[in-house]
């Protein structure tokens, strides 16, 4: 895809998809957005949040970053993009669900096993990847650190970090918010969810979502 293709794509979008759903788009402008879920996903170009769950405009509030990491709550004077999205989704939009969605072939999880020491051009990435270190340590012990184990264990640590946000914790404990750990497989398009009772990832079926 070149930039010209993107321009053509927007023309096509305006003429077809936008036209088909014009009333819905205009209603969302008039009434504002009321998404039910915050989706925390990876920036990976192969993982398209709306596409993999067939979501429509207004359905998902999305934050994507390298590795679908959730930094722990840290109320200082720095810039916290992901934390700000969580805060807004929970306290302003009152989302009922937060989904942390990892995926197979995640470059961020692979990079946990690479040495970025001599790469000053990746200074922010190196720091950011610290959020996956605990997952790497657990995965190394579990099975020598395979990609899938690292990716899946990381999701659980990110859910743990999510609970360090006081408002998230409060709403989860009062049953006003549910948090979900999902794993998307690039090769099949399938999503698995983490089942707390079984302590493992299971295929995501309709009946499981209501739990
Ligand atoms: Zn990724």
pLDDT of 66 reads 98
> Which pTM value belongs to this model?
0.95
Q: Kindly give the distance from the C-alpha atom of residue 151 to the centroid of ligand 1, in angstroms, as a whole number.
A: 9
Residue 5 lies in a domain: no
CA of 135 to the centre of ligand 1 (A): 14
Q: Residue 69 belongs to a domain with what CATH number?
A: 3.40.1050.10
Phi and psi torsions of 106, nearest 5°: -75, 120
What's the gap in Å between 93 CA and the centre of ligand 1? 26
CA dist., res. 160 & res. 194, Å (int): 13
Whether residue 186 contacts residue 46, with contact meaning beta carbons closer than 8 Å, is answered with: yes
Is residue 2 one of the residues assigned to a domain? no
Determine the distance separating the centroid of ligand 1 and the alpha carbon of 205, expressed in angstroms.
23
Residue 6 is assigned to a structural domain of this protein: no
Three-state DSSP class for 107?
Answer: helix
More confident residue, 32 or 116: 32
Cα–Cα distance, 132 to 85 (Å, whole number): 20
Which residues, 6 or more positions from 29, have their beta carbon under 8 angstroms from its beta carbon?
Answer: none
Tell me the mean pLDDT in the region 177-181.
98
Instruction: Establish if 8 belongs to a structural domain.
Output: no
Residue 10 CA to ligand 1 center (angstroms) comes to 26
| Ligand 1 midpoint to CA 110 (Å) | 9
1 assigned to some structural domain: no
CA distances from 121 to 42, 106, 111, 203 (A): 21, 20, 15, 39
Q: For residue 209, what pLDDT is reported?
A: 61
Per-residue pLDDT tens digits for 119-153: 999 999 999 999 999 999 999 999 999 999 999 99
Q: In this structure, is residue 4 part of a structural domain? A: no
Residue 64 Cα to ligand 1 middle (Å): 10
Number of domains comprising the chain:
1
More confident residue, 116 or 126: 126
In a domain, 54, yes or no: yes
CA of 69 to the centre of ligand 1 (A): 9
Rounded to the nearest angstrom, the distance between the alpha carbon of 21 and the centre of ligand 1 is 31
Q: Could you tell me the distance, in angstroms and rounded to a whole number, from the CA of residue 55 to the centre of ligand 1?
A: 20
**C-alpha 68 – ligand 1 centre gap (Å):** 7
Instruction: Identify the band that residue 108 occupies on the pLDDT scale cut at 50, 70 and 90.
Output: very high
Name the strands in the sheet holding 37-42, side by side, starting at the edge strand that comes first in the sequence: 60-65, 37-42, 97-103, 178-184, 191-195, 200-203
DSSP letter assigned to residue 16: I
| Distance in angstroms (rounded) separating the CA atoms of residues 29 and 33 | 8
Neighbours of ion ligand 1 (CB under 5 A): 42, 44, 106, 108
Q: Are 177 and 91 in contact (CB under 8 A)?
A: no
Asked whether residue 148 is assigned to any structural domain, the reply reads yes
Gap from CA of 30 to ligand 1 centroid (Å)? 35
- Domain with 34, as residue range(s), is 15-209
């Amino acid at each position: 895809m070149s930039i010209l293709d993107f321009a053509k794509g927007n023309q096509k979008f305006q003429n077809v998809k936008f036209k088909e759903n014009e009333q819905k788009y205009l209603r969302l402008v008039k009434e504002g957005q009321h998404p039910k879920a915050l989706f925390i996903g990876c920036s990976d170009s192969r993982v398209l949040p709306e596409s993999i769950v067939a979501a429509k405009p207004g359905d998902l509030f999305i934050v994507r970053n390298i590795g679908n990491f959730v930094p722990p709550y840290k109320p200082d004077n720095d810039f916290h993009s992901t934390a700000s999205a969580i805060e807004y989704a929970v306290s302003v939009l009152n989302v009922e669900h937060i989904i942390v969605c990892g995926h197979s072939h995640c470059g961020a999880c692979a990079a946990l096993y690479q040495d970025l020491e001599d790469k000053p051009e990746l200074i922010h990435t190196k720091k950011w990847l610290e959020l996956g270190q605990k997952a790497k340590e657990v995965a190394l012990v579990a099975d020598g650190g395979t990609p899938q184990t690292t990716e899946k264990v990381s999701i659980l640590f990110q859910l743990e970090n999510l609970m360090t946000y006081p408002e998230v914790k409060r709403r989860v404990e009062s049953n006003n918010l549910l948090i979900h750990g999902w794993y998307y497989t690039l090769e099949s398009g399938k999503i698995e969810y983490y089942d707390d009772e079984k302590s493992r990832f299971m295929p995501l079926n309709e009946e499981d979502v209501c739990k």
